[in-house]
A and B are shown apart, each in its own frame.
Chain A
Amino acid sequence: MQKSTGQKAAIPFWRDERILNILGQAAFIIGLVIIGSFIFQNMRAGLAKQGITLSYNFLQGISGFDISETLFTYSRTSSYWQAFQVGLLNTLSVSIVGVIASTIFGVILGVARLSTNFLINRLAAFYLELIRNLSLLVFLIFWYLGVFLKLPRVGDAVIWPGSIYLTNRGVGVPWGLPTDSYPTFRLILIIGLVLAIGVFFALRAYSKRTGQAPLTILWASLTFAVVALLGWFVLPEAPLRFDAPVIEGLNMTGGKVLSPEFMALTSGLVLYTSAFIGEVVRSGILSVSKGQVEASRALGFNGFQTLRLIVFPQALRVIIPPLTSQYLNLIKNSSLAIAVGYPDLFYISNAIQNQSGRTVEMFSLVMITYLIFSLVTSLFMNWYNQRIKLVER
C-alpha cells in the first residue's frame, strides 16, 4: 500500500490521465483552429481575386428579378433583402399549410392502418408502403410535371363542385373579398377568440375541481363559431363577399388562383410526410397496452371516452418526439421547391446568389435561417412535450 501511493505521486506526467486529457483537448482545438484558419485564408484569397470582400451590405442593392408569387408588394426594383423576405414568407406559408394538412391526413392514415376493417387496413398499409419507399424529389417532380401541368388548358378546365377550377395554369378556388364592414367583423372575431379562451380555462378549472372531463376544446371552438356567426348576420353588410373564379377567354379571373408550383409542392409534401406521420401515429397507439383499454371499458367508459381519456393521452407521449422530427423534415424538405420552381426561401436565395455573386454570404444566411426554423420548432415541441410528459413520482 505504502509503495503504491508513493508511486502514484511519482507518476510521470505523460501517463497522468488528467494531464493527457487536457493536452489531448488542446491538441484537438489547435488542430481545428489550424484547419479553420487554412480554409478561411483560402476563401479570403479566392474571393479577393474576384474582388469581393465578405459583407452583407449588398442586401440593400436592387434585385432586378421578378418573383411569380409574393405575399406582399414586390417588384424588380425592390431590394435583395425584400426578395429574401418574400422567400421567407413563402416558405413559412408552405410549411404551415403542410404541417397542418399532413397532421390531419397522417392521423387518419395511422388510425386507418389499425382499423379492424380489413379493406381499410390494407388500403392504408398499401399507401404507407408505397409512399415511404419513394424519393421525395421524384415524387414532387411527378406531381408538378405529371399532374398539375398536365391538367387541361383554361378553356377546358375541369370544374369540381364548389367552383373549384382545375387548369394547367393553376387551381382556382373561391375566395372571400373583404367589404366595408370587414374591420368591425375582425373586432368581433377577436372578441370571440377571447371568449373562447375564457370558456377553455373555465372548463379546465371546472374539470380540475370536480374531476369531470368536459369536451374543453369542442366547447371553446363552439363559442368562437357562435360569436363569429352572430357577427356575420348582425352586421348590416356581410363582411366577406365570396368571389368565385370565372373563365374569361384564356384567363381565369376572380377567386384565388393557386399556382401549379404551389399546389405541386404542398400536395407532394403533405402526401409524403403524412405517410411517415401515419406510421408514427400507428406506433404511438400500439404502444398503449391493451390492458389499459380493457381496464377503461371495465370501469364503464364507452369507446369514444376510452379513446379520448385513456388511449390518446398516453399515445401522445410516444408520438410527440418523432412527430417533431417529421415536422422538421417537412420544413427542411420545403426547400425542394427549387425543383418545381416555387419561389421559396432557398429558391430566391439561390437567385440572389446568382445575381450578386455573393455565394458565401447568401448560403450562410440561408443556413442560419433554416437553423432558426428548426430551433423554434424544436423548442415549441419540447415545451409541449414537457407539458404532457408522464409525471413520475
Chain B
Amino acid sequence: MTQTNSLLPPLTERSGVLRWMRKNLFGSWPDAILTIVGALIIYWAVKGFLTWAFTIAEWEVVSANMRLIMVGQYPVKEVGRLWIALGFLVFLAGNSLAIWARKSYFVTILLLGFPALLAFLPIGDESRGWLFSLTALGLVGWGIGRSKPESLGKIVIFGWVISLPIFVLLTRGFTSEDGIMPIVGTNLWGGLLLTFLLTVVGIIFSFPLGVLLALGRRSELPAIRLASVTYIELVRGVPLITILFVSQLILPLFLPPNMTIDRVLRAMVGITLFSAAYLAENVRGGLQAIPRGQFEAAYALGLNGVQTMVFIILPQALRLIIPILVGQFIAVFKDTALVAIVGLLDLVGIAKTVLAQPDFLGLQREVYVFISLIYWVLSYGMSYLSQQLEVKLGVGKQ
C-alpha cells in the first residue's frame, strides 16, 4: 500500500500571484466581470471617502468639542473623578486578564494598550497624560494579578461587583458644593459617559429580570406563565421609542404625586424593561437546549427545584448562549442612542449641541461620522472579545 504511493511524485499546486488571481478573481467570464465591477466600486468608494476625509472634512469640529462628545456638560474641574473611576475599571480589567486569561497575550495587549493608543489622537495634553496613566494602571493591575493569581480571584470578583456603584458614586459625587466631591446633577451627564452608564445599567439590571421572565415563561404555574408571556410579547411587539416615551411621559403619572424620578433614571428604567423581554427569549432558547436528563439527574441527587436551576441548569444554559447574549448587549448599546429623541444629551443628543455652535454650522457629516466610528469601534470590540471568550470556554466543542 505504502510502497507504490511513495514512488509517485508528491502532488503540488503551483502557487503564485497570477495563479491565485486566476483562480479566485477570474475563474470564468461572469466572475471576471464581477471582479472588475467590484474593483470599480472599491476604487470609487475609497477614493471618494479619502478625498473627503483628508481634504474637505473640517475635523476641528470634533477635536474642539472632544470633551463635550465624551462627557457632555460635566463640570471641567470634576472630570478628574471620571478618570479615577475609569482607572479603577482598567485596573480590574488588568487583574482579571492576568487571572483568567493568562495565555491571551494579544487580547491583553490590545485592551491595556488601547488607552495609550488613543493618546496619539489630537486631544489635550491633560487627557493624554490621563490616558497614559490608564495604560500604566492596567499594566500594574496585570502585574499584580500575574504574581498572585490564586488568592486574588475572589477580591477581583468583589471589585467588579462594587465597580458600578463606585463609578456612579464618583460620577454623581456625594458632598455639597464646597465639599471634596460636589454633587453633579444628572442633567449635566452627557456624551459617551451617559451612553456608557445607560448601557451598563441596562445590561446589568435587565439580566436578572430577563432570566426570571424566561423561567416564568417555562413555569408550570399558569398564572406566572401567562404573566411572563404577556409581558414578553407585549414589549417585543412595540418599538423601543414608544417604551422610552412612555417611561418619560407616563411613568411619572403612575407614581404618587410627591414622588418624582430623574429623567436619566426614567430612561434607564425604560431600557431595562425593554431589554429584559428580549433577553428572556434568548435565555429561554438556552434553557430549551438543556436535555431533560439533566433535570432528572439533579432531582435524583436530591437537589430541589431552585438548586437544580441555579447550580445545574442555568450555568449550562447561559454558557450555551454567550454569543447571543453578547449580541443582545451590543444591541442595548446601540439602542441607547434613542434616548436622544426623548431629549437626553447622550452621544447622539450631544451632536445637536455641537452642531448648534455658530463656528461649526453645517458640519453634520464630520460629527456623525465620528460618532458612528465610536459606536463601531465599541460594538466591534465587544463582539471580538465575545468570540475570544467563546473559544476560551469551548462553547460548541463539548
Give the B-binding residues of A (Cβ under 8 A).
21, 24-26, 28-29, 32, 39, 42-43, 45-47, 49, 115-120, 123, 129-130, 132-139, 141-142, 145-146, 149-150, 332-333, 335-336, 338-339, 346, 350, 353, 359-360, 363, 366-367, 370-371, 374-375
For B372, the chain A residues whose CB sits under 8 A away are 134-135, 138-139, 142
Residues of A contacting B: mostly = helix
For A49, the chain B residues whose CB sits under 8 A away are 257
Q: Is the CB of B223 within 8 A of A146?
A: no
Q: Is the CB of B224 within 8 A of A374?
A: no
Q: Is the CB of B375 within 8 A of A133?
A: yes
Closest to A17 in B: B305
A47-B253, A117-B38, A138-B371 known; 19 other A-B pairs, CB under 8 Å?
A: A25-B221, A25-B224, A28-B224, A117-B24, A117-B25, A120-B38, A133-B375, A133-B376, A134-B334, A135-B337, A139-B372, A332-B238, A332-B240, A335-B239, A336-B341, A338-B341, A360-B250, A363-B246, A367-B238
The 3 A-B pairs of least Cβ separation, nearest first, read: A133-B379, A25-B223, A145-B364
Selected from A119, A142, A353, the residue in CB contact (under 8 A) with B25 is: A119
Does any Cβ of A come within 8 Å of B299's Cβ?
Answer: no
For A47, the chain B residues whose CB sits under 8 A away are 253
CB distance from B270 to the nearest CB of A (A): 12
Selected from A115, A141, A145, A346, the residue in CB contact (under 8 A) with B241 is: A346
Q: Which of these binds chain A: B27-35, B134-142, B172-180, B314-322? A: B27-35
For B338, the chain A residues whose CB sits under 8 A away are 137, 336
For B234, the chain A residues whose CB sits under 8 A away are 367, 371
Q: Is the CB of B368 within 8 A of A146?
A: yes
Closest to A50 in B: B253
30 residue pairs A–B, Cβ–Cβ below 8 Å: A25-B222, A28-B221, A29-B223, A42-B257, A45-B257, A46-B253, A117-B24, A118-B25, A119-B38, A123-B42, A133-B375, A134-B372, A134-B375, A134-B379, A135-B335, A135-B372, A137-B340, A138-B368, A138-B371, A141-B351, A141-B368, A332-B239, A332-B240, A335-B239, A339-B341, A366-B238, A366-B242, A367-B238, A370-B239, A371-B234
**Distance of A25 Cα from B224 Cα, bound (Å):** 7
**Distance of A360 Cα from B242 Cα, bound (Å):** 12
Name which of B25, B221, B351, B376 has the most chain A CB atoms within 10 A of its CB. B376
For A136, the chain B residues whose CB sits under 8 A away are 334, 337
Does any Cβ of A come within 8 Å of B360's Cβ?
Answer: no
For B380, the chain A residues whose CB sits under 8 A away are 129, 133
Does any Cβ of A come within 8 Å of B227's Cβ?
Answer: yes
**Distance of A21 Cα from B250 Cα, bound (Å):** 35
For B92, the chain A residues whose CB sits under 8 A away are none
**Distance of A335 Cα from B245 Cα, bound (Å):** 12
Contacts A133-B383, A338-B341; is A138 near B375 (CB within 8 Å)?
Answer: yes
Residues of B contacting A: mostly = helix
For A132, the chain B residues whose CB sits under 8 A away are 379
Q: Is the CB of B24 within 8 A of A116?
A: yes
Contacts A25-B221, A116-B24, A137-B348; is A142 near B256 (CB within 8 Å)?
Answer: no
Does any Cβ of A come within 8 Å of B237's Cβ?
Answer: yes
Q: Is the CB of B254 within 8 A of A42?
A: yes
For A25, the chain B residues whose CB sits under 8 A away are 221-224
Closest to A47 in B: B253
Q: Is the CB of B376 within 8 A of A363?
A: no
For B204, the chain A residues whose CB sits under 8 A away are none
Closest to B255 in A: A42
Q: Is the CB of A135 within 8 A of B24?
A: no
For B351, the chain A residues whose CB sits under 8 A away are 141
For B221, the chain A residues whose CB sits under 8 A away are 21, 24-25, 28
Render B323-339 as a binary contact track against A, CB cut-off 8 A, 1 for contact. Answer: 00000001000110110
Q: Is the CB of B253 within 8 A of A28?
A: no
Closest to A332 in B: B239
**Distance of A359 Cα from B251 Cα, bound (Å):** 11
CB distance from B382 to the nearest CB of A (A): 9
CB distance from B234 to the nearest CB of A (A): 7
**Distance of A118 Cα from B35 Cα, bound (Å):** 8
Name which of A46, A119, A123, A150 has the most chain B CB atoms within 10 A of its CB. A119
Does any Cβ of A come within 8 Å of B41's Cβ?
Answer: yes
Contacts A42-B256, A134-B372; is A146 near B224 (CB within 8 Å)?
Answer: no
Does any Cβ of A come within 8 Å of B169's Cβ?
Answer: no
Closest to B305 in A: A17
Closest to A149 in B: B364
**Distance of A163 Cα from B210 Cα, bound (Å):** 53
CB distance from B58 to the nearest CB of A (A): 14
**Distance of A133 Cα from B330 Cα, bound (Å):** 8
CB distance from B320 to the nearest CB of A (A): 17
Q: Is the CB of A117 within 8 A of B375?
A: no
For B368, the chain A residues whose CB sits under 8 A away are 138, 141-142, 145-146
Contacts A332-B238, A338-B341; is A130 near B35 (CB within 8 Å)?
Answer: no
For B246, the chain A residues whose CB sits under 8 A away are 363, 367
**Distance of A116 Cα from B256 Cα, bound (Å):** 64
Closest to B334 in A: A135
Closest to B249 in A: A359
CB distance from B15 to the nearest CB of A (A): 15
CB distance from A10 to the nearest CB of B (A): 22
Does any Cβ of A come within 8 Å of B369's Cβ?
Answer: yes
Q: Is the CB of A32 within 8 A of B365?
A: no
Does any Cβ of A come within 8 Å of B39's Cβ?
Answer: yes
Q: Is the CB of B42 within 8 A of A363?
A: no
**Distance of A28 Cα from B221 Cα, bound (Å):** 11
Q: Is the CB of A137 within 8 A of B24?
A: no
For A146, the chain B residues whose CB sits under 8 A away are 364-365, 368-369
**Distance of A116 Cα from B23 Cα, bound (Å):** 9
Q: Is the CB of A123 within 8 A of B348?
A: no
For B330, the chain A residues whose CB sits under 8 A away are 133
